[in-house]
Structures are given as structure tokens and as C-alpha cells.
Chains A and B, each alone.
Chain A
């Protein structure tokens, strides 16, 4: 599991209203409530995970993100967070637009398909990458829309989304020197803070 606990909180404002897409067992929301006193809401598909959220007193709504976010008003949240889910969505572009419709800012994390290990597995050995970052075989993976940092930034440009901050790290959230110099080769996990505002 990718560790988001360090960077994401730095991008969240105190007392803000946060929507967590694919909140899982609610670790991030629970942490942000403790440290930033946020007003948090999670969306999650798995009822077992919803039950775990409820034992912590979190608010969580069962929802399939492929349906977009039609139940939310424009700019209802300060920040909409989605960690390691973008690549599993049927239409990442429309969901990104939705995130920035209902929230002033969005925080998105996803695995970098152009990470060196993936390049070696695909480019030299000729196999779709299977590794700790992308553990599923090609025929049975939730990750149907893998992309690279460069691809993602191109998409943001097309959608007129402004990148406020970005961060690259390895799976455990550590920053490497090479990752800083050549993120699209040495960065394993991408984390972006985005807005539609100019």
C-alpha cells in the first residue's frame, strides 16, 4: 500500500471540507480529522470497508466513482482527494473535471507507468509490468488506465487544469535524488495538487 500520510496533510487547510474518493477504511480521513479538524466525507464501494469507516465515526457514502459525482453541488468542498484510484476509473478525464467542479482543489495520486522498473519489464523483457507498484497481471487488474507523469500533465493542459504542486516519491513515500531530477523515470508514485482557478 502506498503511504500518503506525509504529503497530503500538508496540502489540506485546517477546518476545511474534504471529500475522499475511494476512501477505503478511512485512514486518511481519520488522520485529517485528528490533525486538521476537517469536515470529511468519504465515498467507497466496498460495504466491508464502509463498516470499518463507521466504527471510527466517519461519514461515508457507498458510491461507484464511474458514475461521476452527480449528487454534489459545484464547489461544495475545499479539497477533493483521490489516492491510487485514477488509473482504475473508466474515464479518468471526466472524473478529474468532476473533482474540480465539486471542489476548489483536487489532490490526485497514481502510479507512474514510466518508472524505470516498468520500462525494463516492458521494454527489455517484453512483459506487462508486474511488481509491488502494479501487482496485478494484465488480464485481471483494476488498473485499466495506466499513465505516466508526462501523460497526466498533458491531460491537465488539455483540460485547462492548473498544477499547483507536485511530488514524486517511491512506494513508501521516500524522496530520492534521481526521482527529483528525472521524475518520469525514477519516480514511482505521483502526487498532484490541482485547481481550475486561474
Chain B
């Protein structure tokens, strides 16, 4: 039986100073909901920031009281796991604009007294990294031992290495890409169209109309979900099986249809439509090269951190060749980079799923970082 963190409680951290956002918006104040695991050491050098992907949140590991489903990365965060909470102090937050407790479209706009809804300002990966750095300040963390993330989370880790080279010891970039391709943006656009074309969406003002665009959000999730899996994993799990009789089949002809409908339904009950649009836009606009008009290698040259880049063989949402673009740029910039292309049948979702060699490589890298912490401090 693997060890677990046990029961976890999130904390709400309030930021009363305004923030200017990179696409022109502004928030006079905001809250971030945060979970932490493990203990911060005396010199505050063992902190690890975990960044979540498109629909993730702050609940990365452990259990909420009375619940049986752990956080989304529980397999990789905990005692004696890849990110060992006996060694590291892990910080996990719901990003600004989210719908799990941090300030986002569901929150009340202090200037109008109404929920922001579709008026919530546009957010970018840069803004997330900025607010995460403010969160670090509030926790007294000058430098993260590592910033870690998969998919959109990996992009945040990469942006950290670019924006705050002195505040990050290592960036772990898993199943990510240096920026989206037209195909990636196209999938996000179909998902957004599914939402905005739902008659219950009301241009984002569904709360005012007392409706919810459940069918649009569900459809968006079904599309997204297909891109997170692989043909092989869907074939292994469902093949051409018929719907399961013990679940509501709702007219589905095949098990995969029943599964996608169930996933869409579950997601639409927990995820806000405006947040989904906001998050997919942040993903689309992510392009660290565009703003500085530099190649990726030039952009990464000032980075001081070590890098671990990981990709998965059957991931077609962000295929191994996309990760290899990051690796190639880091090699050309003479940065310290390690890379593995891990075998998995699970497509993009592989970064969340148990996999012995992935665990071993991730853990080897993290444990070594921890053993180097003392050396870094004695150098300074």
C-alpha cells in the first residue's frame, strides 16, 4: 500500500495590491486558493511549485475529508513518491481565473458587486507566473527548488525559468510544447464554439439568466478528452464494446460513447464555462518567443535552472517532437538539460498515470535536486 498524505485542507491567500495583466486588464485585488504538502525547511530552500494544466486545480495530492478520490497528481506527490513530501515542501494553487476557489469569472467584481462572468480580464501564462511569484513572496520563498508541471503546467514551468532565472533551481517540463500549433488551437476553438453556441450560454451571462451551458461544456470536454487519450488506449479500454448495462446508456450505441457522455456530464457539473474559455485562450496565446521576438534558444539562454523535459510516446496533443524542440533549444543555449521520451499507451494523459520508469526518472531527478540544496546554500 503506497503511503499517502492523508487529509488535506486548502487555504485562501488574499492579495490586496492590484495587478496589471499582460493583455491590458487589471484586478484591484484577488485571492488564490492553495494547498501545501510537507514542511518548509529552516532556510526555505526546499519548496516545489506544482502548476496545473487546463482544467486542473490546487487539489494535486492527498484527500479531502470524507472523500475517497485523491488529488489529480497524488500518484506523483507524497511520501516517498517522485516529488517526495518527506523532502520537499510542495505548493499547489488554483491559477488566477480558475473556478475552484481562486479569483475568476465566478467571483464578485468589487467594482460592480456582480460576478465577473465574461467580463473577467484575459489572462496569460505570464500573469500566472507573476501571481505565483507573489504567492512565493507571501510564503517567504525566495527561490523554488523546482517548478514542475505537465501540459499547460509545463509551459508555466518554462515561463518561470525565463522570467525568474534567480528564483528557480530547476524546471520540470512534462508533456508540453514551446507554443501551440494551428491544430492545437483548432481543437481549443471547437471546444469554445461548443460552449458559445449552447443557447444557455447567453454570451457568458448564464448566471444572470439562471441557466448553465451544461451541454456546451460537456461537448467541449468530450472533444478535449479524445485528444488526451490515444487510439491505442481507447482501443484497449473500450474497443468496440457495447454500453455497460449497469450504467445509464442514454441511447449510446458503444461503450466509448457512454464514457465520453459521462466524462462530459461530470465535467460540466464542476467546471465554469467562462473559465474554460479563459484557460484555453491562455493556452492558445502562450508563445514566449512572440513577445520578445527571439528564438527559443536565445530566450532560454539567461535561464539559470536545470531542466528536466519528459514526453510520452503516444501523446499526439503535445507529441514528443514538441518537447524535443524545447530540448534542442536548451542544448543550443548550453543549459543543463535532461530529457526522456517515455513509452506509454496513454497519450497526453500519460503524465497523470502510474508508470514505473516515468516515476523512477522523475524521482531520481528530484532526489538529486534535494541532495544539492545544502551545497547551493553553502555557496552563497
- By a beta-carbon cutoff of 8 Å, the part of chain A in contact with chain B is 17, 39, 41, 47-48, 50-62, 71-73, 76
Q: How far is the CA of A60 from the CA of B332 in the complex (A)?
A: 14
Binary CB contact string for chain B from 319 to 333 against chain A (1 if under 8 A, 0 otherwise): 000001001100110
Q: What are the residues of chain A within 8 A of B361 when measuring CB–CB?
A: 47, 50-51, 54
B368 in contact with A56 (CB, 8 Å): yes
User: Looking at the complex, which one of A48, A56, A73 makes contact with B360 (CB distance below 8 Å)?
Assistant: A48
B368 in contact with A55 (CB, 8 Å): yes
Q: What are the residues of chain B within 8 A of A71 when measuring CB–CB?
A: 324, 327-328, 331
* B367 beta carbon closer than 8 Å to chain A: yes
Q: How far is the CA of A47 from the CA of B331 in the complex (A)?
A: 19
Q: What are the residues of chain A within 8 A of B331 when measuring CB–CB?
A: 41, 61, 71-72, 76
A61 in contact with B334 (CB, 8 Å): no
B368 in contact with A57 (CB, 8 Å): yes
Further 14 A-B residue pairs, CB within 8 A, beyond A41-B337, A47-B361? A47-B340, A47-B357, A50-B338, A50-B340, A50-B361, A54-B361, A54-B364, A54-B365, A59-B337, A59-B338, A60-B339, A61-B327, A71-B327, A73-B332
Taking CB as reference atom, which chain A residue is nearest B360? Answer: A51
* Distance to closest chain A CB from B146 (angstroms): 13
* B341 beta carbon closer than 8 Å to chain A: yes
Residues of B328-377 contacting chain A, CB below 8 A: 328, 331-332, 334, 336-342, 357, 360-361, 364-365, 367-368, 372
Taking CB as reference atom, which chain A residue is nearest B340? Answer: A62
B327 in contact with A60 (CB, 8 Å): no
Q: What are the residues of chain A within 8 A of B357 when measuring CB–CB?
A: 47-48, 51
* Distance to closest chain B CB from A186 (angstroms): 41
Q: What are the residues of chain A within 8 A of B327 when measuring CB–CB?
A: 61, 71
Q: What are the residues of chain B within 8 A of A76 when measuring CB–CB?
A: 331-332, 334
A61 in contact with B364 (CB, 8 Å): no
- For the residues of A in contact with B, the DSSP-based class is mixed
Q: Number of B interface residues, CB 8 Å?
A: 23
Q: What are the residues of chain A within 8 A of B339 when measuring CB–CB?
A: 60-62
B341 in contact with A62 (CB, 8 Å): yes
* Distance to closest chain A CB from B376 (angstroms): 12
Q: What are the residues of chain B within 8 A of A55 when measuring CB–CB?
A: 364, 367-368
Q: What are the residues of chain A within 8 A of B334 when measuring CB–CB?
A: 17, 39, 76
Taking CB as reference atom, which chain B residue is nearest A57? Answer: B368
Q: What are the residues of chain B within 8 A of A41 when measuring CB–CB?
A: 331, 337
| Given known contacts A47-B342, A73-B332, A76-B332, A52 and B364 CB-to-CB distance under 8 angstroms | yes
User: Looking at the complex, which one of B338, B360, B367 makes contact with A60 (CB distance below 8 Å)?
Assistant: B338
Q: How far is the CA of A59 from the CA of B170 in the complex (A)?
A: 12
Q: List 13 A-B contacts (CB under 8 A).
A: A47-B360, A48-B357, A51-B357, A51-B361, A53-B338, A54-B361, A54-B364, A55-B367, A56-B368, A59-B336, A60-B339, A71-B324, A73-B332
Q: How far is the CA of A159 from the CA of B295 in the complex (A)?
A: 34
Taking CB as reference atom, which chain B residue is nearest A54? Answer: B364
Q: What are the residues of chain A within 8 A of B367 when measuring CB–CB?
A: 55
* Distance to closest chain B CB from A60 (angstroms): 5
Q: How far is the CA of A9 from the CA of B339 in the complex (A)?
A: 26
Taking CB as reference atom, which chain A residue is nearest B371? Answer: A57
Q: What are the residues of chain B within 8 A of A47 when measuring CB–CB?
A: 340, 342, 357, 360-361
Q: What are the residues of chain A within 8 A of B332 when measuring CB–CB?
A: 72-73, 76
Q: How far is the CA of A40 from the CA of B200 in the complex (A)?
A: 58
Taking CB as reference atom, which chain A residue is nearest B365? Answer: A54
Taking CB as reference atom, which chain A residue is nearest B358? Answer: A47
Q: How far is the CA of A143 from the CA of B369 in the complex (A)?
A: 37
B338 in contact with A54 (CB, 8 Å): yes
Q: How far is the CA of A109 from the CA of B278 in the complex (A)?
A: 56
Q: What are the residues of chain B within 8 A of A56 when measuring CB–CB?
A: 368
Q: How far is the CA of A61 from the CA of B324 in the complex (A)?
A: 10
* Distance to closest chain A CB from B364 (angstroms): 4
Q: What are the residues of chain A within 8 A of B338 when measuring CB–CB?
A: 50, 53-54, 58-61
A-B pairs with lowest CB-CB distance, top 6: A54-B364, A71-B328, A61-B339, A55-B364, A62-B340, A51-B364
Q: What are the residues of chain B within 8 A of A39 when measuring CB–CB?
A: 334
Taking CB as reference atom, which chain A residue is nearest B361? Answer: A51
Q: What are the residues of chain A within 8 A of B328 when measuring CB–CB?
A: 71
User: Looking at the complex, which one of A57, A61, A72, A73 makes contact with B372 (CB distance below 8 Å)?
Assistant: A57
Q: What are the residues of chain B within 8 A of A58 when measuring CB–CB?
A: 338
Q: What are the residues of chain A within 8 A of B342 when measuring CB–CB?
A: 47
Q: What are the residues of chain B within 8 A of A51 when measuring CB–CB?
A: 357, 360-361, 364
Taking CB as reference atom, which chain A residue is nearest B310? Answer: A62
Q: How far is the CA of A72 from the CA of B331 in the complex (A)?
A: 7
Q: How far is the CA of A65 from the CA of B7 in the complex (A)?
A: 47
**Of residues A57, A58, A60, A76, which shows the largest number of chain B Cβ atoms within 10 Å of its Cβ?**
A57
Taking CB as reference atom, which chain A residue is nearest B366? Answer: A54
Taking CB as reference atom, which chain B residue is nearest A55? Answer: B364
Q: How far is the CA of A61 from the CA of B341 in the complex (A)?
A: 9
Q: What are the residues of chain A within 8 A of B360 when measuring CB–CB?
A: 47-48, 51
Q: How far is the CA of A62 from the CA of B342 in the complex (A)?
A: 9
Q: What are the residues of chain B within 8 A of A54 when measuring CB–CB?
A: 308, 338, 361, 364-365, 368
